[in-house]
Chains A and B, each alone.
Chain A
Amino acid sequence: MLSSQSPSALAISGLKKTYREGFIALKGIDLNVEAGDFFALLGPNGAGKSTTIGVICSLVAKTAGSVSVFGHDIDHDFAAAKRCIGVVPQEFNFNQFEKVLNIVVTQGGYYGLPRKEALVRAEKYLRLLDLWDKRNVVSRTLSGGMKRRLMIARALVHEPKLLILDEPTAGVDIELRRSMWDFLQQVNASGTTIILTTHYLEEAESLCRNIAIIDEGDIIANSSMKDLLGKLSQEVLVLDIVESLPPDFTLKGFDCNWVDAHCIEVSIDREQHVNSLFAALEAQQLQVKSLRNKANRLEEMFVSLLKNPSKQSDIDYPHHESAEASA
């Protein structure tokens, strides 16, 4: 869609970060995000996601490597680069004693927006994020989800070409998370490149077209979401069958597992087509009522990629999220 000449929204090469105490947080990462993309940077806690974002928006001084944003090097052309970036940090970092509207308008002012224009923009984004009613409220009194949305409005006030969100939905309940996803998809559809970090796998899978996985300061996978998912050799489909099935039921040519009289699990290889599965079922005159994937495949793969699989406990699985939301 986009011409290959247009510069990447983000180009990182050989990026290293060693913190003052000597801790190596980034070991030399390369990353490329095309303009218009919706990109996920996925990784367990402590992987280096926030450090990477910190470097991009110059809150963290890098040790080595280069970063450019829409072709503007963050060292040599820092004003142009910074103008392109809007960032929603992981931690709340607005003045808790300031009113919601003032926070957004002041941020606009910092970017050089005259007050009148900043007010118009602030109204636009506060309305879009359902915060306009709260505009005169002191920000400290907002709920966690509202604070997160306030930071999104603040990040959009100068209408950046690249919006970076660091774990935007952490601690946000499921309902709100979905409406935030819808909002971000609209923002992306209107042409803004979005990068988000997350450790909710479901989030990356349902929102993003491309993905990089970061672990212990290294990028361990970087491709389109589709390719990455395709790398899994097998997937397990759960089929609900109209007819009753005996416990010793088998399906020719497939690894099949009887769950109950109306439900089976079938593993299919990458080379096999779902069509052939249906053909086999049809041959036995069975009708499929419904079909779904057994597990979150991304999740499985993620665990298989991590250097230290015990870290999977850091990852929030969808069923944990539901438990958390219903608690």
Chain B
Amino acid sequence: MNLVSQWVAFKTIVYREIHRFMRIWVQTLVPPAITIALYFLIFGQLIGSRIGEMGGFDYMQFVAPGLIMMAVIQNSYANVVSSFFGQKFARSIEELLITPLPHYLILLGWVLGGDARGLLVGAIVTFVSLWFYDLSVVNWTLSIFVVISTSVLFSLGGFLNALFAESFDDISIVPTFIMQPLIYLGGVFYSIQLLPTFWQTVSLANPILYMINAFRYSILGSSDLESLGFSINSALFMIVGFIILLTTICLWSLNKGRGIRS
């Protein structure tokens, strides 16, 4: 397959992926916007005004970057896991597997689809948040890098989940029992400096904590990470490291036919 054909095929996947979540926007774009608006209203506005400061900022300011990241993570993951597993389940994935398209482009196509939804929802949520406070960003480059790389990482995670999943149960177990707790305990709503030392140390084993705090740092100019002696770069390396790891596992599994060929 020459490069032009590969490019066309790749565009076809990305276009189809975007078309899919746009067509069902009531299921894919509206709910996160509503959920996050409620979070802003309840935690930011109503309770937040009583909480006062968190990590040296207004609670609203503190919680906004966490909520945006939460939306990006959940939607990138959800898009890929449901789209890819859905195709596996309906066997329409075979339409792709019989073509000469190399596996890495199939993977990349789905990851870009997940990014498109993750980032679009992230943008919608950011836009909604402007109703509640004035956003100012300290380091645009860093914030864009963190948000995109996190979206890529969780799109890959969704792909891997779908690849190994054999039933619809399998695609809800990971988001519910692993990701949700890690996100909630990853410093979206609170600074881990509020925790006793033991639980701080436990929290530091949570990769999502680094992503949320790196993003918070890029927006506010400070986060738990530097206060606890970690550099922002270490968080970035970790994200990139996970991306490389998951990409390798995905490609290896695809080439082995794991989850897609009998």
Q: Which size bracket describes the interface of B in this complex?
A: 20 to 34
A15 vs B254: C-alpha distance in the bound complex, in angstroms? 22
A252 vs B96: C-alpha distance in the bound complex, in angstroms? 65
Which chain A residues border B102 with CB–CB below 8 Å?
A: 79
Q: Contacts A20-B262, A109-B12: A85 and B91 contacting too (C-beta < 8 A)?
A: no
Q: Contact string, B63-107, partner A, CB cutoff 8 A, digits 1/0?
A: 000000000000000000000000100111011111111100000
Closest residue of B by beta carbon distance from A91: B91
Q: Contacts A93-B90, A95-B90: A59 and B262 contacting too (C-beta < 8 A)?
A: yes
Q: Are A59 and B96 in contact (CB under 8 A)?
A: no
Q: Are B5 and A111 in contact (CB under 8 A)?
A: yes
Out of A59, A93, A95, A111, which one reaches B9, CB within 8 Å? A111
Q: Contacts A93-B92, A94-B95, A95-B90: A110 and B257 contacting too (C-beta < 8 A)?
A: no
Q: Which size bracket describes the interface of A in this complex?
A: 20 to 34
Closest residue of B by beta carbon distance from A80: B100
A87 vs B97: C-alpha distance in the bound complex, in angstroms? 12
A11 CB–B CB distance under 8 Å? no
Out of B2, B4, B9, B262, which one reaches A54, CB within 8 Å? B262
Q: Are B8 and A114 in contact (CB under 8 A)?
A: yes
Closest residue of A by beta carbon distance from B262: A60
Q: Are A112 and B1 in contact (CB under 8 A)?
A: yes
Describe B's contact surface by its main secondary structure.
helix
Closest residue of A by beta carbon distance from B94: A93
Write the nearest CB–CB distance from A52 to chain B, whole angstroms: 13
Q: Are B95 and A82 in contact (CB under 8 A)?
A: no
Which chain B residues border A54 with CB–CB below 8 Å?
A: 262
Q: Are B5 and A61 in contact (CB under 8 A)?
A: no
Which chain B residues border A79 with CB–CB below 8 Å?
A: 1, 100, 102
Q: Are B91 and A78 in contact (CB under 8 A)?
A: no
Q: Contact string, A99-129, partner B, CB cutoff 8 A, digits 1/0?
A: 0000000110111111100000000000000
Closest residue of B by beta carbon distance from A51: B262
A27 CB–B CB distance under 8 Å? no
Q: Are A78 and B94 in contact (CB under 8 A)?
A: no
Q: Contacts A59-B98, A79-B1, A106-B16: A113 and B262 contacting too (C-beta < 8 A)?
A: no
Write the nearest CB–CB distance from B99 to chain A, whole angstroms: 5
A95 vs B86: C-alpha distance in the bound complex, in angstroms? 9
Out of B11, B94, B100, which one reaches A59, CB within 8 Å? B94
Q: Which residues of B contact A (CB under 8 A)?
A: 1-2, 4-6, 8-9, 11-13, 15-16, 87, 90-92, 94-102, 257, 261-262
Q: Which residues of A contact B (CB under 8 A)?
A: 19-20, 54, 57-61, 78-80, 82-83, 85, 87, 89, 91, 93-96, 106-107, 109-115, 154
Q: List 10 A-B contacts (CB under 8 A).
A: A59-B98, A79-B100, A82-B98, A89-B91, A93-B91, A94-B90, A95-B87, A110-B12, A110-B99, A111-B100
